[in-house]
Amino acid sequence: MARSVNVDVKYLTRVEGHGNIVVNVKDGIVEECRLDIVEAPRFFEAMLRGRSIFEAQHITSRICGICACGHTISSIAAAEDAIGFTPSEQTTKLRKILLYQEMLDSHILHIYLLVAPDLLGVPSFVPLIDTHGNVVKRALRMKKACNDVCAVLAGRHIHPISSIVGGFTKIPGEKELDAMLDILYDMRPDMDSTVELIKTLAPAIPVFERETEYVALVTDDDEYPTLEGDLGSSDGLRLDKSEYLKITNEFVMPHSSAKHAKASRKSYMTGALARFNINSEKLNPKAKAVADALGMKPPIINPYMNTAAQLVECMHYMEESIAILEDLKANGTDQSEAITVGLNERNDIKVNKGLGVGAVEVPRGLLFHSYEVDETGKIENANCIIPTSQNVNNIEHDMSKLIHEILDKPDEEITLMFEMLVRAYDPCISCSAHFLDVEFINR
Amino acid sequence: MKRKTVAFFDFTCCEGCQLQVANFGEELLDILAAIDVVMFREVMSEKSDEYDVAIIEGSITTPHDVERIKEIRETATTVIALGSCASIGGINGMKNSFKLEDVQSYVYGEDGKNYFETIPTMAVHQVVDVDYFVHGCPIYPPEFVKILKYALQGLPYTVKDEAVCVECKLNENECMYEKGLTCLGPITKAGCNSWCINYGNICYGCRGMVKETTKNASIDVIKKYDIPMDWIMGKFDMYNKATESEEKK
C-alpha cells in the first residue's frame, strides 16, 4: 500500500547546534527529504574583514567550542600561508598534539554521550548514570584527560591560548611533557575498555549502505594525514589545497544556514569514515587492531559506521600523541622558540601580501580557512568552509535513499533512524554557523 | 530541600561554555546531583517547558531569539547569562561594526542574503532582566561553580569591579606593556585568574570592561609604541561592541 510519511523533528538533540529533519512522503512518493539548519547565522567571514591577520585565530576559534583547536590550527595554517611564514618542526609537532587531543575529545563525547544512548535505547546519557555508572564515569574521565592535555599544552581546550600565528607563546618543558604523558598513559586502560564496550554495542549500529565520494587529506608519506596534505577523494581527485573551492563547490539553499557542497558527484562525505576509507593503511598498528576487531575493511559505505571509524581513530590519536610527546621528551624542547603575541607590534613575524589556505582534518572532516591579506597584514577577504556544511548535502542524499528502505516501519522508528543517521555524521551545527528536528509531513 | 530544576538554552554562540560545563569530568556528576537538569539539548533528548533556573548561552541576534528569550524569562525565576556572548554580546558583536546588509551579502551572496534574518547583536540583559552574569570566553569553570552556588541559594552575586591586572600581578606575570605589547588587562573585569596572560597571551577583554578604567593611561602607552589606533579599537570591539554604549555611561 502506498504510504504517506511526515516526519518533523524540531531542534534535534544530542548534536552540536540547531537543526531540523523534514521528511515528506505522500502515497509512497518522496516529496521532500531535507535537513534544515536553523542555527542563527554568525557572519564570521564578514566580521574578519579589516582585522589583523594575527587576530584571525583568536576570532575564528570562537566559531565552535568543540572544534576550537581545529579552527585555531586551520586558521593559523591559512594565515601563515597568506603572509608567507613557515612554522618550525617543533611547532608542527605541538600543533599535531593539540589537534589529536581535540579529535580524541570530540570522538569520545560523540561515541559515549551522543551515540551510545541510541544503541542502548535511552534518551540521553543521564539515565545511564544510574544503569551504567562506570561507563559514564569513564567517558567523563577520558574527556577530561583530553582537556587536561590541552590545558597543559595551550592553557585550555576551548579556545586555546598559547597557539597562535608563528608558533606557541609558551613551550612545554620537561615537566609539562611528563604531565601530558602521564595523563595519556593513564588513558590507555580506559581506551581498551572503550573498544570492548563498542564491540558489544556494534551489532546495534544500523545497516544501511549508499555509495558516495569520500574526501580527505592525502599525502605520499606514511603518516595518517591531518595537518598537512593535498585534497584527495575516493573518486581519484587529487588537488593542491589552494584549489579547495574545486572540491567544495559551495551553494546556498534557502532551508539551511549551512552552505551545501559537492565534488565529483552530487554529494560527498568527509570525516572519520572518509579518512578511514582513504588512509586506513597509515593508521597506528594499535588502531588497525581495533578496526580488525570490529571487522572493518575499507571501503565502508554505511554512514552509521562513522562512529566506529571514530573509535579506530581514538586509538590512533591517543597512541600518536604519546609517540610525539615521547619524541619531544627524548630530544628536549627548545624554549627559545616561544613567540611574542600582540598585533605583531614587534614585527617578529614578517608579513607579505597574499592569499592563503588552511586545509586541516578536524573531528568532523576537512576544515578550510582562507584569508587574503594586504602588505600590512590586514584581512581583506576571508572564507571558512566547515565539515558539516560539506556533509549536509550527503546526509540529504542518504535520507532520500534510506526513506525508501524503511517506509514500512512505524513513525517512531523512522524518526529514530533519521536522527541516528544525522547524529552519525556528528554534525556540528553551531560551526556551520549556519542545524536538527525530524519533521514528518502528510503521514 | 527540593532540587532546583535547571534548563540550559543556547542562542547565537559556539556552545563552548555549555561544553565547559560538560568538561568538568566526574565532578560534573556532583553538580548534577545538586540540581535537576531538565533540559540540556547538546547532550540530552529530554525536553521540558518548566524550570526554575534558565542558563542562557549565546547572544540575541535574530527576531526569533528576542521572542524566545522573553518566553524563557517569563518561565524562569532565575536567569543566568553564561559566557561573553550572553553577558556582553561577545564576539558576535563585531557584526555591529558593519551594515547588516553588507555582512549578509558578503557571506551568503546577493541571492542568499535574504534567506536568514539577522538583527544587531545584543547581550541577554539588553532584552530581558538577567540575575547572574558568568563572564568569559570561555567561562572560567571555578567561577561558574561559585556563581551557580549563589544562584541556587538565591543570594546576590556581583562580579568585583577590579581589573585583570590585579590577578595578573598576583600570578607574577611579566607585564605585557613592559614587553612593549598592548593588553586589555587594565580595563577588563577580573575573575578569570588572568588565564590568557598566564599562558603568554594578552588579555582581549572578553569579560567586559571595568567601570573605573585607566583608559587614558592605555591610550598614552599605545601612542608611545606607535601602534595603529584602528587595530587597537578593533581589539576593544572584539568582545565589547554590542555593549559599548553601556561602557560609556
Please give the sequence-ordered ranges of beta strands (E in DSSP) within A175-320, or none if there are none.
213-218, 230-233, 238-239, 268-270
Nearest alpha-carbon partner for B120 in B65, B190, B75, B54: B65
Instruction: For residue A14, give the nearest of B43, B98, B195 by CB distance.
Output: B43
- How many Å apart are CA B165 and CA B197, to the nearest integer? 10
User: Residue A16 in contact with residue A427, Cβ under 8 Å?
Assistant: yes
Q: How many domains does chain B have?
A: 2
Is the torsion defined by CA of B82, B86, B88, B94 positive or negative?
A: positive
Co-location of B20 and B108 in the same domain: yes
Minimal Cα distance from B22: which residue of A?
A140
- For B46-85, how does the pLDDT look when each residue is reduced to its tens digit (9 = 90+)? 667 789 999 999 999 999 899 999 999 999 999 999 999 9
User: Residue A78 in contact with residue A357, Cβ under 8 Å?
Assistant: yes
Say if residue B156 is preceded by a cis peptide, omega within 30 of 0.
no
- For B206-234, how does the pLDDT look when each residue is reduced to its tens digit (9 = 90+)? 999 888 666 566 666 666 666 667 666 77
Pairs of residues, one from chain A and one from chain B, whose beta carbons lie less than 8 Å apart? 201
A209 burial type by CB count under 10 A (0-12 exposed, 13-18 middle, 19+ buried): middle
Is A65–B227 a contact, with Cβ atoms under 8 angstroms apart?
Answer: no
Nearest alpha-carbon partner for A419 in B16, B49, B45, B12: B45
Is B176–A342 a contact, with Cβ atoms under 8 angstroms apart?
Answer: yes
Strands A268-270 and A213-218: parallel
Residue B104: all three cell numbers together: 549578509
Q: Where are the domains of chain A?
A: 5-206+324-441
Q: How far is B157 from chain A (nearest CA, A)?
A: 25
Co-location of B128 and B226 in the same domain: no
Averaged pLDDT of chain A: 88
Co-location of B75 and B40 in the same domain: yes
Contact A114/B at CB under 8 A: yes
Instruction: For residue B46, give the nearest of A52, A124, A140 by CB distance.
Output: A124
Residue A236: all three cell numbers together: 581519484
Co-location of B102 and B225 in the same domain: no
**Looking at beta carbons, which residues of chain A come within 8 Å of B15?**
16-17, 64-66, 430
Co-location of B129 and B187 in the same domain: no
Minimal Cα distance from B110: which residue of A?
A252
Dihedral over alpha carbons A125, A129, A130, A131 (to 10 degrees):
60
| Residue to test with chain A: of B60, B97, B116, most A Cβ within 10 A | B116
Is B16–A64 a contact, with Cβ atoms under 8 angstroms apart?
Answer: yes
| CATH code where residue B20 lies | 3.40.50.700
pLDDT at A292: 97
**Looking at beta carbons, which residues of chain A come within 8 Å of B231?**
52, 343
Co-location of B24 and B107 in the same domain: yes
Cα separation of the two ends of chain A: 13
Co-location of B108 and B205 in the same domain: no
Domain endpoint, select from B132, B153, B174: B153
Nearest alpha-carbon partner for A125 in A141, A110, A105: A110
Q: Which fold has domain A5-206+324-441?
A: Cytochrome-c3 Hydrogenase; chain B (1.10.645)
* Neighbouring residues of A82: CB distance < 8 A, sequence distance ≥ 6: A53, A354, A355, A356, A371, A372, A373
| Residue to test with chain A: of B5, B10, B14, most A Cβ within 10 A | B14
Confidence category of residue B179, pLDDT binned at 50, 70, 90: confident
pLDDT at B227: 66
Question: B151 vs B22, B81, B84, B139, CA distance in Å?
Answer: 19, 12, 18, 16
Residue A94: all three cell numbers together: 605541538
- How many Å apart are CA A83 and CA B26, to the nearest integer? 43
**Looking at beta carbons, which residues of chain B come within 8 Å of A386?**
none
Helices A133-154, A174-201: axis angle to 10 degrees equals: 150
Contact A55/B at CB under 8 A: yes
**Looking at beta carbons, which residues of chain B come within 8 Å of A65?**
13-20, 138
Asked whether residue B159 is assigned to any structural domain, the reply reads no
- For B88-146, how does the pLDDT look when each residue is reduced to its tens digit (9 = 90+)? 999 999 999 889 888 888 877 777 667 678 899 999 999 999 999 999 999 999 999 99
Count CB-CB contacts under 10 A for residue A246: 13
| Residue to test with chain A: of B61, B67, B178, B201, most A Cβ within 10 A | B201
Contact A406/B at CB under 8 A: no
Contact A163/B at CB under 8 A: no
Whether B147 has a pLDDT exceeding 90, the answer reads: yes
Query: Which residues sit opposite B160 in a β-bridge?
Result: none
ipTM for the predicted complex: 0.90
Instruction: For residue A345, give the nearest of B95, B195, B227 by CB distance.
Output: B227
Minimal Cα distance from A9: which residue of B?
B45
**Looking at beta carbons, which residues of chain B come within 8 Å of A52?**
231, 234
Co-location of B149 and B50 in the same domain: yes
Residue B172: all three cell numbers together: 607574577
Is B108–A41 a contact, with Cβ atoms under 8 angstroms apart?
Answer: yes
Instruction: For residue A13, give the nearest of B41, B91, B106 by CB distance.
Output: B41
User: Residue A25 in contact with residue A17, Cβ under 8 Å?
Assistant: no
Domain endpoint, select from B96, B118, B153: B153
Co-location of B106 and B185 in the same domain: no
Co-location of B67 and B172 in the same domain: no
Residues spanned by the domain of B222: 164-247
Domain endpoint, select from B105, B133, B153: B153
Minimal Cα distance from A71: which residue of B?
B14
- How many Å apart are CA A298 and CA A310, to the nearest integer? 14
Could you say which residues of chain A have pLDDT below 70? 1-18, 37-40, 250-261, 342-346, 429-443
**Looking at beta carbons, which residues of chain B come within 8 Å of A50?**
230, 234
- How many Å apart are CA A148 and CA A229, to the nearest integer? 28
Asked whether residue B192 is assigned to any structural domain, the reply reads yes
Minimal Cα distance from B38: which residue of A?
A126
**Looking at beta carbons, which residues of chain B come within 8 Å of A98?**
none
Co-location of B97 and B203 in the same domain: no
User: What 8-state DSSP symbol labels residue B12?
Assistant: B
If you search the block for the grid coordinates 578496526, which residue do you land on?
A291
pLDDT at B55: 96
User: Residue B45 in contact with residue A13, Cβ under 8 Å?
Assistant: yes
User: Residue A307 in contact with residue A423, Cβ under 8 Å?
Assistant: no
